[in-house]
Amino acid sequence: MARAYAHRGLRLILTARRTDALQLAAEELAPTTEVVAMAGDVGDPAHAERLVRAGLDRFGRIDVLVNNASELGPSPMPELEKLNTQVFAEVLRVNVVGPLKLIQLVLPPMRARRDGLIINVTSDAGVQAYPTWGGYGASKAALEHLSRVLAAELEGSGVRVYVVDPGDMDTAMHRAAEPGIDLSYLPAPASVAPAFVRLLDTDAVAGRFEAQQLVAAAV
């Protein structure tokens, strides 16, 4: 997604907890666009403030916020009866509370400019009731409802709120969710990145989108 946005000409603030992959991404994209890479936890309010301050100081404005980072919880995933509630609170901290904090930080300047796009990345597990996916799934359901209420509150503000389900992908998180299963047949994240670019130019003020359908429709 960062690569696709960079090639579209967007300047980027990127974050992840570990510095290695983050630094590699920043180095790869530096010849294409301006990149600020800041390691930290999106569930940490102080890190959220650092990210948004860096965006406003360096670029003068933030056009798009993508809440993509996500916490799965334990692997293998337990049924709800056995889900440690402190672990569940951690899943909610990263997947719901952190995104809301970032939204609260970017909204005032977006409202002032009457322009902005907030994309919250969700999952079909936030809609369908898959056994053992309850902790993560409940966090995505909360993120989706938060997005719906936010969109209602922002009606007429010029700020768009989208929820995007990227669909099944072969990633570290998905492999942790289904340990021992060969997921190499699934698409790579890069294959759905064009959907996130397409949404930059979508007129809808709010909505839930399936990234793989957006990509297929464009072909």
Return the residue matching tokens 């809609």: 127
Annotation marks residue 130 as catalytic: no
Pairing of strands 12-16, 35-39: parallel
CA pair distance 60, 98, nearest whole angstrom: 23
Closest alpha carbon to 212 in 198, 81, 204: 198
Q: CB under 8 Å to 65, separation ≥6 — which residues?
A: 102, 103, 106, 116, 117, 118, 119
Applying CB under 6 A, does 166 fall inside the site for ligand NAP? Answer: yes
What's the start-to-end Cα distance of the chain, in Å? 18
Tell me whether residue 75 or residue 84 sits nearer to ligand NAP (CB atom): 75
Q: How many CB atoms are located within 10 Å of the residue 219 CB? A: 5
Tell me whether residue 17 or residue 111 sits nearer to ligand NAP (CB atom): 17
- φ, ψ for residue 64, nearest 5 deg: -135, 135
Q: Closest separation between CB of residue 77 and ligand NAP, Å?
A: 13
Q: CB under 8 Å to 45, separation ≥6 — which residues?
A: 98, 101
Tell me whether residue 60 or residue 180 sits nearer to ligand NAP (CB atom): 180
Q: Closest separation between CB of residue 113 and ligand NAP, Å?
A: 26
Applying CB under 6 A, does 193 fall inside the site for ligand NAP? Answer: no
Tell me whether residue 63 or residue 168 sits nearer to ligand NAP (CB atom): 168
Applying CB under 6 A, does 174 fall inside the site for ligand NAP? Answer: yes
**Of 2-10, 30-38, 64-72, 75-83, which segment contacts ligand NAP by CB under 6 A?**
64-72
Applying CB under 6 A, does 189 fall inside the site for ligand NAP? Answer: yes
Q: What residues from 9 to 48 belong to the interface with ligand NAP (CB under 6 A)? A: 15-18, 41-43
**Which stretches of the chain bind ligand NAP, using CB under 6 A?**
15-18, 41-43, 68-71, 94, 121, 123, 165-166, 168-169, 171-174, 189
- Which residues participate in catalysis according to the annotation? 136
